[in-house]
Chain A
Amino acid sequence: TAGITQAPTSQILAAGRSMTLRCTQDMRHNAMYWYRQDLGLGLRLIHYSNTAGTTGKGEVPDGYSVSRANTDDFPLTLASAVPSQTSVYFCASSRDSSGANVLTFGAGSRLTVL
């Protein structure tokens, strides 16, 4: 089934450690996004990529970095995790960055930073 695969599903991480959340899509979508979902705050955009080789900052980018070496993969890295980064992280994609297309989401990665 075509879609987005995120890994890991769940992770507990010590503060100060680094972590990379993986995201792979097989729909050949040009645009990809990382969101975090927190109770009471809804979903907030961390970083995005309109096409392979380009990235941009979203609403809450501090403490996170991304790369887009190819169309399919869009990893999110926490260089030095802090407890406030405890959240559920969702990767999403769309056919292009125009905004006219439906957004497709992965199943999420639950991260706990202690």
Chain B
Amino acid sequence: KQEVTQIPAALSVPEGENLVLNCSFTDSAIYNLQWFRQDPGKGLTSLLLIQSSQREQTSGRLNASLDKSSGRSTLYIAASQPGDSATYLCAVRRGSARQLTFGSGTQLTVLP
């Protein structure tokens, strides 16, 4: 059974700092990996989707990498801002769309 782990559970950084969020998964036979952002009391917003054949995806200040062989993905946030404060979740898809396993998330706080 696929297990997805995100460490740390919570992270606090000063504004302007570059940071890396980690996601690890136990079964490397994945179809793709998706990073989401969740604001308090809100739904999930998709940030980046990396297919299994890709090594990274970029959107603005965000860069996500994928290393299937080691079962790891990282989300890099450049020049963090207080507006980046949220919980970031990764989700790994094994096959069809319903076979999606979520991590428990990393709660990020960017201090002004």
- Which chain A residues have a beta carbon within 8 Å of chain B's beta carbons? 4, 31, 33, 40-45, 48, 50, 56, 58, 90, 92, 94, 96-108
Residue of A103, A106, A108 most packed against chain B (CB within 10 A): A103
Contact A102 B43 (CB under 8 A): no
CB distance from A15 to the nearest CB of B (A): 24
**Complex alpha-carbon distance, A103 and B100, angstroms:** 10
Report Cα–Cα, A45/B103, bound state, in Å: 13
Task: Evaluate contact between B99 and A102: CB separation under 8 angstroms.
Answer: no
Distance from B77 Cβ to chain A, minimum over Cβ atoms (Å): 19
Tell me whether B44 and A105 are in contact (CB under 8 A). Answer: yes
A97 partner residues in chain B, CB cutoff 8 A: 96-98
**Min CB distance, A58 to chain B, in Å?**
7
Contact status B97-A108, CB under 8 Å? no
* A56 surroundings in chain B (CB, below 8 A): 98
B10-18, B45-53, B78-86 - interface stretch: B45-53
11 contacts between A and B (CB under 8 A): A42-B104, A44-B102, A48-B97, A98-B97, A99-B97, A100-B31, A101-B97, A102-B49, A105-B36, A105-B44, A108-B41
Do A99 and B42 contact each other (CB < 8 Å), given the known contacts A41-B104, A42-B89, A42-B105? no
Contact B97 A58 (CB under 8 A): no
B66 CB to nearest chain A CB (Å): 15
Which one, B42, B96, B100, B102, contacts A98 given CB within 8 A?
B96
Please measure, in the bound complex, the distance between the C-alpha atom of A56 and the C-alpha atom of B97, giving whole angstroms.
12
For residue A104, which residue of chain B has the nearest CB?
B46
Contact B98 A48 (CB under 8 A): yes
Residues of A within 8 Å of B99, CB to CB, are 99
Contact partner of B100 (CB less than 8 A), chosen from A4, A45, A90, is: A45
Whether the Cβ atoms of A108 and B98 lie closer than 8 Å is no
- Structural contact, A43 and B97, CB atoms closer than 8 A: no
Q: How far is the CB of B23 from chain A (nearest CB, A)?
A: 12
**Chain B residue, CB-CB nearest to A91:** B43
Q: Is B32 an interface residue (CB 8 A)?
A: yes
